[in-house]
Amino acid sequence: MRNILAFVLTAGFASPALAASGPFFSLKNTDFVVTIAFLVFVAVLFYFKVPSMIGGALDKRAEGIKSDLEEARKLREEAQALLASYERKQKEVQGQASAIVAAAKEEATRAAEQAKVDLESSIARRLAAAQDQIASAEAAAIRDVRDRAIAVAVAAAGDVIAKQMTAAEANKLIESSIADVDAKLH
C-alpha cells in the first residue's frame, strides 16, 4: 500500500511540475490544487478506513461466495449420492421385474404342461368311459340277439314239436312234468 502511495505522489508531483509554467507550489497553479485535492481525498479515504472497509466487504463477499461454493459442492455430492441410490434402486427393481417375468413365464409353462396333462387324462377318462359304454352296448346287443335267437329257437322247436307230437304224447308229457314238480316240491 505504501508503494502505491509513493508512486502516486511521485507521479503526481513530477508530471505537473514538468507541464506547468511558473511556480508549481502556488494556489494559482491548477495542477497543484488538483494534486492537493487528490491527496486530501486519499487521506480522507484512509482516515475513514475505506480501503479496509472495501477489503472487509470484499473478504465478506469472498467468504459468502466460498460458503455458497461449499454449499453447492455439498448439494452436488448429495445429488450424486441420491442419483447413485436411485440408480441402484432402479437396478434392483429391474432385477426384481426380470425375476417376476421369469417366474411368470415359468409358471405359465408349468400351467400349460399341467393343463396338457389334465387334458390328456380327461381324454383318457372319456375314452375309457366311451369304451365301457361301447362294451356295455355290445354286451346288451349280444344278449338281445341271444335272447331273440333263443326265443326264435324255442318258438321253432315248439312248432316242430307241436307238429310232430300227438295228443296222447302231450298228455303223457304233462303228467310226467306234474309228477316231477310234485316230487321236487315235497
What is the DSSP annotation of 57-86? HHHHHHHHHHHHHHHHHHHHHHHHHHHHHH
pLDDT at position 169: 78
Say if 9 falls within a structural domain.
yes
Say if 120 falls within a structural domain.
no
Q: In angstroms, rounded to a whole number, what is the distance separating the alpha carbons of residues 157 and 92?
A: 94
**Predicted structure pTM score:** 0.38
Say if 172 falls within a structural domain.
no
> Which residues, at least 6 apart from 45, have a Cβ–Cβ distance to it below 8 Å?
51
Taking only the tens place, the pLDDT of each residue in 95-119 is 999 999 999 999 999 999 999 999 9
Say if 20 falls within a structural domain.
yes
pLDDT at position 111: 94
Domain count, the chain: 1
> Which residues, at least 6 apart from 51, have a Cβ–Cβ distance to it below 8 Å?
1, 45
pLDDT at position 16: 47
Q: Kindly report which listed range (26-40, 66-80, 170-184) carries the lowest average pLDDT score.
A: 170-184
Confidence band, pLDDT 50/70/90 cuts, at residue 182: confident
Say if 85 falls within a structural domain.
yes
Closest listed residue to residue 42, CA positions, set 76, 86, 1: 1
Say if 71 falls within a structural domain.
yes
pLDDT at position 84: 95
Residue 72 belongs to domain spanning = 2-91
Average pLDDT, the chain: 86
Taking only the tens place, the pLDDT of each residue in 43-92 is 999 999 999 999 999 999 999 999 999 999 999 999 999 999 999 999 99
Say if 23 falls within a structural domain.
yes
